[in-house]
Structure 1
């Protein structure tokens, strides 16, 4: 079996699909190629997963290959053990994550608690959820208090005509 590296695959692709000389056509080519390769990567990933399932289900063995399940590692605190074993230290380091606090408490409660803690400085951090405002204001008033901001996402090249350069 021949194993290809990224440079060899790129060379094969660029032989089959030559790189345009015009900058816009090249940008368009790269955009289309990146999308196609992303789609192709999904196909190979799905095929890989299906083949691994077949190997595992059939108990298949190979003289040349071995199926190894890779693992990632992360550290995790044993909360119960720390709470019981070192209660003073536990009290120093225990907290609720921001995302859990938001799930457990209302946004209004969190706002009032922070305001109580930092006073008028809270205005530097004021935020309003767009969906909440849209649910409470009819359209004529809504546009008075909401604006749409355009944020550049990056460039996209579009083909204006089907005319090709030789």
Structure 2
């Protein structure tokens, strides 16, 4: 199987579709080419996802490839634990994310104004910035209030490297 890199694909495209010399024509060419490549990328992404689904559904294995589920990690604050465990620190770092504040009352109000208006319902919207909490909390206490959340990003295909021996 031949693997092409972006430069090789660009050269092939520019051989098939020569680059205009006029700046306006070139800008128009680039605009059209970018749109076409974006559409083509969607086709390949859809085909990739369909093929991965077939591999998973059929339990297909390969000696040359392996299907790997990538994950991303993001720190999250355990709001109820921090609120009850360190109420003074919680009061220092708690806030309402702007989109939630807008949903509730508009941009005119800050945390205390929202709290005054909606009382205990604010708990559903309370948030603490991980960096703000880490700056104020000793490292040893962080695991009690900050957890690592792992979420799937999607599948990738990796080539298996075989050792000759």
Q: What range describes the TM-score normalised by the shorter chain of this pair?
A: 0.5 to 0.7
The 1-side partners of 2:73 and 2:89 are apart by: 25
Unmatched tracts of structure 1, length 5 or more: 118-166
Listed as ranges, the gaps of 5+ residues in structure 2 are 114-165
**Root mean square deviation of aligned Cα:** 1.7
Count of residues in correspondence between the two structures: 111
1:84-163 equivalences in 2 (<5 Å): 84-105=84-105, 107=106, 111=108
TM-score by length of structure 1 reads 0.62
Which structure has the larger Rg over C-alpha atoms?
1
Q: Which residue of structure 2 aligns with residue 14 of structure 1?
A: 14
1:54-113 deviation digits (Å, cap 9, x = unpaired): 1111111111011111111111101111112212111111111111111122x4xx64x5
TM-score computed with the length of structure 2 as normaliser: 0.63
Relative to its length, the structure with more strand (as a share) is: 2
Give the Cα separation in 2 of the matches to 1:100 and 1:25. Answer: 46
Deviation at 1:20? 1.4
Runs of 4+ in 1 over 2 A off after TM superposition: none
